[in-house]
Amino acid sequence: MARSDFTFSFPFRIRYSEVDGQRVVFNAHYLTYFDTAITEFLRSRDIGYNEHFSPDTFDFHLVKATVEYKRPIRFDDEIDVWVRIGAAGRSSVTFAIEIHPRGEDALLSTGDIIWVYTDMTTGRSSPVPGWFLERMGWQPA
């Protein structure tokens, strides 16, 4: 994927508490960056999570998370986490994610986050609402 395939990014500056003994970002923090960027992506599309999803009716469940580490990210680096919808199925949405140094094309990490839309009263998957995919700018190929 090229950075030009994305229209949304969220910036981070790496804090000391996020790095390990080698001053490289500890692996689990990548998922925090992904989750924060997805939340901000939703906000940018006027989808307030608390307003649209509920543990009593319908909500998304994370079913898969993948991270590929391409190059180390170090303390005090400035990065942009790019997010877009990579795929959508009947009941699932896959977020494609890339991390780049701020304003640069070099690829530091890639990942996918898969959510399944769930009827919280039955615990079963449910069709992703059309309004959600529309607001997210999903265009099937």
CATH assignment, 3-135:
3.10.129.10
Per-domain residue ranges of the chain: 3-135
Contact call for residues 9 and 40 (beta carbons, < 8 A) = no
Contact call for residues 82 and 6 (beta carbons, < 8 A) = yes
Digitized pLDDT (tens) for each residue of the chain, 141 residues in all: 667 789 999 999 999 999 999 999 999 999 999 999 999 999 999 998 888 898 899 999 999 999 999 999 999 999 999 999 999 999 999 999 999 999 999 999 999 999 999 999 999 999 999 999 999 988 776
- Backbone angles phi and psi of 3, in degrees to 5: -55, -30
Rounded to whole angstroms, the Cα distance separating 83 from 132 reads 16
